[in-house]
Amino acid sequence: MQSSIKKIATMIVACVVILGLGFGLTQWLKPAQAGLSPANTTVANTASSTGSAPTDHANGADRMSLGEETQARQQQLQQWLQQHLTDFKKQSGNLDGFLQAWNAQCKNEQQPKQCDVMLRAALATHTDQAFANQMLRLLNSLPAYEQAMQSVVMSTATDPRQRYAKIWQLREQMLGQDGALLAFGQEKAFAEYQFQFAELKARAANLSGEQRLAELKQLQQQTLGRYGDQVRQAEGSAGDYEKALQLMLVGVTDPAAQAQITQQLRQQYFSPELAAQMAQRDQQVTEQKQQVDLYQTELAALKQQMAASQNSLPASAWQQQYEQRLTALRLKHFPNS
């Protein structure tokens, strides 16, 4: 799982993103809604012939080869499903991630609803039928849930935690308490983590550096719980580092102190090589910003000079001179652009 989730945003934006996650969950299922097949339906195998007609013997051999290849592919996909359904049962809470992974594995663009057929067939033969039935109920409820989510309207003036509580209430009404946790448990834990982190950051000025980091660690353990490994896998070290950095920089205004804190945290959360690369990148960004600031200062002076001479030169001559000096200024500061 990639990703790197380096997204520290305002709580309003976070809640909108969370709402968007709910909207997008059943997009994968839409092609199948025209006619869901029973769980024991098998995928039909068809073959087309092109070019000149081969012999009957060759046709039979080709059909056999294609049939064997299709059967082998179906067996491979069923094995993938059984393994990943078992994995999802152990680490549930992100149904969207599971469905996206299955969609990428199936890749049946010509008959997209067959992916749903195969998923239901795998659930029908899963060793844990209680879990399988819960998954089937959840899959069947998703279209109605998405439609209900699209009708939800909330004011941005409402507290983000209250807005998310309303979303979760709708999920439990549409999917049941167990179904909501099965589909969105990881997101719920992460949302609570974000809410409580914002509260911790608001009172960080009254805490020492050690207290800030200790409370952050405690917060992660309490709110993420069983989903901690999944969230950390998605965020990586960068996620923990960004939050620690935000806490440690609260109330620190001196640039030198900020740089020292940043360097210390990078050494704590990253390898020496990566920390050095990040420091080098910071230096490059600082130099680029200084170059842009200097260019903007000289550009303002150029415009002032040219404005003073605008009435003393013919319009064409003034325009030509301005463009020449502007080009020279750009090449001076950005020769490689």
pLDDT (mean) for 84-89: 94
pLDDT at site 3: 39
pLDDT (mean) for 159-188: 95
C-beta of residue 239 within 8 angstroms of C-beta of residue 194: no
Q: Is the pLDDT of residue 126 over 70?
A: yes
pLDDT category of residue 67 using cuts at 50, 70 and 90: low
Q: Where are the domains of the chain?
A: 11-40+66-270
Q: Is the pLDDT of residue 156 over 60?
A: yes
Contact residues for 325 (Cβ-Cβ < 8 A; gap 6+): 302, 306
Lowest mean per-residue pLDDT among 2-11, 208-217, 263-272, 297-306: 2-11
Lowest mean per-residue pLDDT among 21-30, 152-161, 264-273: 21-30
Query: Mind listing the pLDDT tens digit for each residue in 322-333?
Result: 999 999 999 999
Query: Mind listing the pLDDT tens digit for each residue in 175-222?
Result: 999 999 999 999 999 999 999 999 999 999 999 999 999 999 999 888
DSSP string, 62-115: HHHHHHHHHHHHHHHHHHHHHHHHHHHHHT-S-HHHHHHHHHHHH--SSSTHHH
Please give the mean pLDDT across all residues of the chain.
Answer: 82
Query: Mind listing the pLDDT tens digit for each residue in 38-62?
Result: 333 333 333 333 444 445 555 555 5
